[in-house]
Chains A and B, each alone.
Chain A
Amino acid sequence: MKSNKNLLDINNLDISFIQARGAAHALRGIDLTIASGEILALVGESGSGKTVTSMSIMGLIPIPPARINKGSLLFKGNDLIGQPHAEMRKLRGKEIAMVFQEPAKYLNPSLKIGEQITEMLVLHLNMSKKQAVEKALEYLDVVGLGKSRRVLNSYPHELSGGMKQRVMIAMAICCNPSLLIADEPTTALDVTLQLQILKLIRNLKKQFSMGVLFISHNLGIVREIADRISVIYAGKIVESASNQSLFEDTLHPYTRALLQSIPDAEKRGHRLRAIPGSVPDAENIPSGCSFHPRCPLAQDMCSQEIPLTKDYGNGHSAACHMVH
């Protein structure tokens, strides 16, 4: 029985995309929970379904061509699936906000930064323009840009990459959302900026008591920031655990293979243990356990039956026939 104290409670969410060339089974029954004040990292490679997950929480998946086959998406106890468009729109930006990967592309190039922040404050919080400008300056300060009118009156291209990303974060939190979704927020940034942005997100989470869904493919970054981690592969959550458990007590072969294949100085001189093959397309998901063609532990059963998610105690669960 799932606790109602959870901010976000996704249960068996199953989504397909109907396209000309066949149906793409993007999510095949995922379970995800985020509590208030918690950072959950969703780790997966491209095509794994992480973007579909974040977009469906935001209600930004176009239906059709998407089709929600089954499942529920509870936000503060209310199922967002089937909510009318107008209701979802009111939640977006105000209760659930999102930070994207490449700020240069995700900011409107012909609107000033100030305008892009204040429009939300005016719309969602009914502020006057003047109040909104003051609030916007406060949030610019919170994200480390200072109460800068210069930034407020700038266009995106006049700011550096790091500054743009901070602006995106300011835009996302300015209406004090309960849930923040950060989709690969540091991937497009320089290395020396990444930790700063991570620290910023962690501090903001505390300051504003938000729950954070942090999406990434980089296990190193995830280790720095996440409280809990869920690993997604071909539309299914294959492993879910606390930060420490996932790295010290890895259960699922995919997670283990991923960790082993990452190069670092210690592995110098040894060949990397690369995972053979590639991530399957959502149109052609292997039968049984979708990982079985690439799995070093695969047996006959793995190609025939889809493994159920089993709980191994301490909040650590995995979906694999070969784990006992």
Chain B
Amino acid sequence: MHRFVEIKNLEKTYYGHGIFKSLKNAVKAVDRVSLGIEKKSIFGLVGESGCGKTSLVRSVLYLDPPTAGEVWVDNTLLGDLPASGLRSFRQRMQIVFQDPNSALNPKMNIQNSLEEGLVNRGFDAPRRKKQVSRVLDLVGISPSHSTRYPHEFSGGQKQRIVIARAICMEPDFLVLDEPVSNLDVSIQAQIVNLLQDLKEDLGLTYLFISHDLNLVAYLSDRIAVMYRGRLVESGSTDEIMNRPLHPYTLKLFSSIPGMEITAMTADAGNMPEFSSDGVKPVTVDTRGCHYIDLCPLRGRECAAREPQIETVHGSHKVACFKINKCM
């Protein structure tokens, strides 16, 4: 029995283009990631730029099918579905992106933007109008404004509209990729509250991606940390917040002003100057642990083999030779 969303050993490799499809420099954006999301829970994924979270999202939703691995949603293996089956299944999985400006078509008014998906589901005009009114109400936009165009709304309102469009399709699973990063601080809280309310009222399951550890810690039931295509640590929010273990997780924590850190951060101060800034993507040839260049704990085995993600305690898992040895 799988959890509501079950991702097993997901891999996404981007190959070179051209006549000679060079396998040599193929980039491994997602490297054997496994995670599970319980129904009606929020799973928070933390990572910086280049960690592969966008590729992961696209693979999970089969917008860009994964190179390997399985994606199960509600006990359905997405890879097994025929093209038409996948299309209709997609209605149950929606995504909210970071930038509401590029997510909304500036030439379509709100009513049309939201109705678009419903047409494909065979809703007739009155039913569509009713649905659009309903979701706009849910997100706090007056339905009378549905004839307006995106540019007539503020940033926060636009994001609400994007969320409305996502829930208009009545999905079960919502992927949110940095949904509040572009918004002002005072608006972020409003949207976060809205997302929580919607989850409760509509029984949604969220995969929430952000670089903002505070926000992820606030919202999520479970957290996973991603670095250069791999999951380096995962666990319940309490487990991770009380005892972050992986050196990269510690580095993240120590970079955020105001985060309470445990004793293991003694080494955090010795971290070299450049962290995930400018790291090259992982290719098929890369051996060993991906964090080796910056890790204060690195040893010989770290270069030779790849650490597997192993349970440390309860549901807390870490992928690190040194940590797992101590536990």
Measuring CB to CB, which residues of chain A are less than 8 angstroms from any residue of chain B?
Answer: 45-46, 144, 159-163, 189-196, 217-221, 223-224, 257-258, 261-265, 267-268, 271-276, 278-279
Confirm or deny: B20 has a beta carbon within 8 angstroms of a beta carbon on chain A.
no
Cross-interface CB contact of B186 among A189, A224, A268, A275, cutoff 8 Å: A275
Q: A161-B49, A267-B218 are in contact. Are A258 and B186 (CB under 8 A)?
A: yes
Q: Which residues of B contact A196 (CB under 8 A)?
A: 273
Cross-interface CB contact of A45 among B157, B186, B257, cutoff 8 Å: B186
Give the distance in Å from the alpha carbon of A162 to the alpha carbon of B211 in the complex: 16
A sample of 25 inter-chain contacts (CB < 8 A) reads A45-B185, A45-B186, A160-B274, A162-B274, A163-B278, A190-B48, A190-B49, A190-B275, A192-B48, A192-B251, A195-B257, A196-B273, A217-B185, A218-B185, A219-B185, A220-B257, A261-B185, A261-B189, A263-B189, A263-B192, A263-B215, A272-B189, A274-B190, A276-B190, A279-B186
B46 to chain A, nearest CB (A): 9
Q: A162-B274, A193-B275, A265-B237 are in contact. Are A275 and B255 (CB under 8 A)?
A: no
For chain B, give the interface size range.
35 or more
Give the distance in Å from the alpha carbon of A9 to the alpha carbon of B219 in the complex: 43
Chain B's closest residue to A189 (CB) is B277
Give the distance in Å from the alpha carbon of A223 to the alpha carbon of B193 in the complex: 25
Interface string of B177-190 (1 = CB under 8 A from A): 00000001111111
Evaluate contact between B277 and A268: CB separation under 8 angstroms. Answer: no
Evaluate contact between A191 and B189: CB separation under 8 angstroms. Answer: no
Give the distance in Å from the alpha carbon of A233 to the alpha carbon of B283 in the complex: 48
Chain B binding surface, main DSSP class: helix
Evaluate contact between A268 and B211: CB separation under 8 angstroms. Answer: no
Of the listed residues B49, B188, B277, the one surrounded by the most CB atoms of chain A closer than 10 A to its CB is B277
Q: Which residues of B contact A257 (CB under 8 A)?
A: 186
Q: Which residues of B contact A271 (CB under 8 A)?
A: 193, 196
Q: Which residues of B contact A191 (CB under 8 A)?
A: 48, 211-213, 252, 255-256
Give the distance in Å from the alpha carbon of A264 to the alpha carbon of B219 in the complex: 9
Confirm or deny: B311 has a beta carbon within 8 angstroms of a beta carbon on chain A.
no
Interface string of B160-186 (1 = CB under 8 A from A): 000000000000000000000000111
Chain A's closest residue to B278 (CB) is A160
Q: Which residues of A contact B188 (CB under 8 A)?
A: 261, 263
Cross-interface CB contact of B277 among A46, A163, A223, A224, cutoff 8 Å: A163
